[in-house]
């Protein structure tokens, strides 16, 4: 191919590359804002089935939105007011137990020193201890900086949660107008098909969010009942752990159950028998959740094959962390809808 004007071609190519770099830099700079907007949109789509249910009961849209948001805020406020004092009390007791365990570790360390001296006579235990203390003193600044960074991240997370709450309220209230605005961008000849696919995708995401929250509530309530029956002193704290980990798809219930079983092994808090009982309970519960509870709750959402779930969760977690793992499955379900209802029919027509 003969280039008639090399200078103009090079200029256009340079401008194109520069524009691409500028767009990539802008996206990276706005990544936090985009994350907030995506989270709020994800939550608002999860609340949409509840609003639609209230609208079918002849409530106007604005009243259904207000009732839904106030209901969600009321439930969380009630949970906080009821559970938070119990959690604070149990966390303080747990800290006391761990403190007593650490304070009693001097005798354990003495026994360990004698055992190491007997097994490894040539090992200079005092020198190892001295060098460890010197390393801690030398890196105290880095450790303190890490603690400060964690505290700042916590404050930033709380601020981000407040922003997401405000955005969720606005997006939930304006979901129909936003949908109409997007639909107007599609040519009129293709608009009905696009609207049908978009509604299927948004409904699938909404039912998925509501179903995942329902699974978390079921796991949290049953965990609180079971841990109270076996007499665990920190049943409320561990029930909250079970609830939040159940929100994570694929591995959340397993991870939360493992942490709870390990918590039952803490000396002075649980016992091996308690841990075994908790392990048996969670093994049974995970089977019931996988084969009975989850299929019934998620029946209205688009089913996603297991291999796709694993790949989607891993990819989403790598890109966006915990939030990416949460939204990866509904995104995969949306892609499957497009694949099944758009790509496959077009391929069959050829």
Q: Is residue 160 included in any domain, yes or no?
A: yes
Q: Verify that 266 and 226 share a domain, yes or no.
A: yes
Look at 280 and 102; give whichever has higher pLDDT: 280
Q: What is the pLDDT of residue 91?
A: 64
Q: Verify that 213 and 290 share a domain, yes or no.
A: yes
Whether the predicted pLDDT of 284 surpasses 90: yes
Lowest mean pLDDT across 204-208, 254-258, 283-287: 204-208
Condensed to tens digits (0 to 9), the pLDDT of residues 313-349 reads 777 777 766 667 667 777 777 787 788 777 887 777 7
Condensed to tens digits (0 to 9), the pLDDT of residues 16-42 reads 777 777 777 666 666 677 777 777 887
Q: What is the pLDDT of residue 153?
A: 66
DSSP letter for each residue of 44-112? HHHHHHHHHHHHHTT--HHHHHHHHHHHHHHHHHHHHHHHHHHHHHHHHHHHHHHHHHHHTHHHHHHHH
Q: Is residue 204 included in any domain, yes or no?
A: yes
Q: In the chain, how many domains are there?
A: 2
Task: Answer for the pair 93, 235: CB distance below 8 angstroms, yes or no.
Answer: no
Q: Verify that 113 and 216 share a domain, yes or no.
A: no
Please say which residue of 160, 185, 210 terminates a domain. Answer: 185
Please say which residue of 185, 206, 226 terminates a domain. Answer: 185
Confidence of residue 291 (pLDDT cuts 50, 70, 90): confident
Whether the predicted pLDDT of 138 surpasses 80: no
Q: Verify that 156 and 190 share a domain, yes or no.
A: no
- In which element (H, E) is residue 145 found? helix 140-173
CA dist 33 and 28 (Å) reads 10
Q: What is the pLDDT of residue 28?
A: 62
Q: Give the domain extent around 309.
A: 186-350
Q: Verify that 74 and 105 share a domain, yes or no.
A: yes
Q: Verify that 154 and 102 share a domain, yes or no.
A: yes
Q: Verify that 179 and 211 share a domain, yes or no.
A: no
Q: Verify that 138 and 203 share a domain, yes or no.
A: no
Q: Verify that 210 and 340 share a domain, yes or no.
A: yes
Distances, alpha carbon 271 to alpha carbons 85, 219, 255, 278, 305, in Å: 26, 22, 20, 11, 39
Q: Verify that 270 and 126 share a domain, yes or no.
A: no
Q: Verify that 162 and 215 share a domain, yes or no.
A: no
Helix%, strand%, coil% for the chain, nearest 5: 85, 0, 15
Whether the predicted pLDDT of 112 surpasses 60: no
CA dihedral sign, ordered 248, 250, 254, 259:
negative
Mean pLDDT, residues 143-168 taken together? 70
Q: Verify that 180 and 39 share a domain, yes or no.
A: yes
Q: Which of 233, 218, 239 is nearest to 286 (CA)?
A: 218
CA dist 168 and 12 (Å) reads 41
Distances, alpha carbon 78 to alpha carbons 70, 159, 210, 226, 345, in Å: 12, 21, 19, 22, 50
What is the model's pTM?
0.66
Q: Is residue 14 included in any domain, yes or no?
A: no
């Amino acid at each position: 191919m003969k280039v008639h004007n090399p200078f103009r071609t090079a200029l256009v190519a340079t401008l194109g590359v520069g524009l691409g770099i500028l767009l990539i830099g802008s996206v990276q700079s706005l990544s936090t804002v985009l994350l907030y907007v995506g989270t709020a949109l994800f939550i608002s789509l999860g609340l949409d089935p509840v609003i639609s249910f209230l609208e079918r009961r002849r409530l106007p849209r604005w009243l259904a939105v207000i009732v839904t948001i106030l209901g969600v805020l009321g439930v969380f406020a009630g949970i906080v007011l009821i559970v938070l004092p119990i959690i604070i009390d149990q966390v303080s007791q747990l800290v006391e137990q761990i403190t007593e365990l650490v304070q009693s570790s001097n005798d354990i360390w003495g026994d360990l020193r004698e055992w190491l001296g007997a097994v490894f006579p040539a090992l200079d235990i005092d020198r190892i201890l001295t060098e460890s203390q010197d390393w801690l003193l030398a890196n105290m600044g880095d450790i303190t900086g890490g603690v400060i960074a964690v505290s700042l991240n916590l404050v930033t997370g709380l601020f981000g949660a407040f922003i997401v709450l405000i955005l969720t309220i606005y997006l939930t209230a304006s979901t129909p107008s936003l949908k109409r605005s997007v639909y107007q961008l599609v040519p009129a000849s293709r608009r009905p098909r696009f609207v049908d696919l978009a509604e299927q995708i948004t409904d699938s995401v909404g039912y998925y969010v509501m179903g995942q929250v329902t699974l978390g509530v079921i796991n949290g309530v049953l965990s609180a009942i079971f841990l109270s029956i076996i007499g665990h002193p920190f049943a409320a704290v561990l029930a909250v752990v079970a609830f939040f980990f159940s929100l994570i798809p694929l591995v959340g219930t397993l991870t939360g159950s493992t942490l709870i079983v390990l918590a039952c092994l803490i000396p002075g808090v649980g016992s091996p028998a308690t841990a075994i009982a908790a392990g048996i309970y969670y093994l049974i519960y995970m089977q019931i959740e996988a084969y009975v509870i989850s299929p019934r709750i998620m029946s209205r959402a688009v089913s996603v094959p297991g291999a796709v779930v694993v790949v989607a969760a891993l990819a989403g977690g790598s890109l966006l962390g915990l939030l990416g793992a949460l939204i990866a499955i509904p995104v995969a379900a949306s892609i499957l809808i497009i694949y099944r209802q758009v790509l496959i029919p077009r391929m069959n027509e050829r």
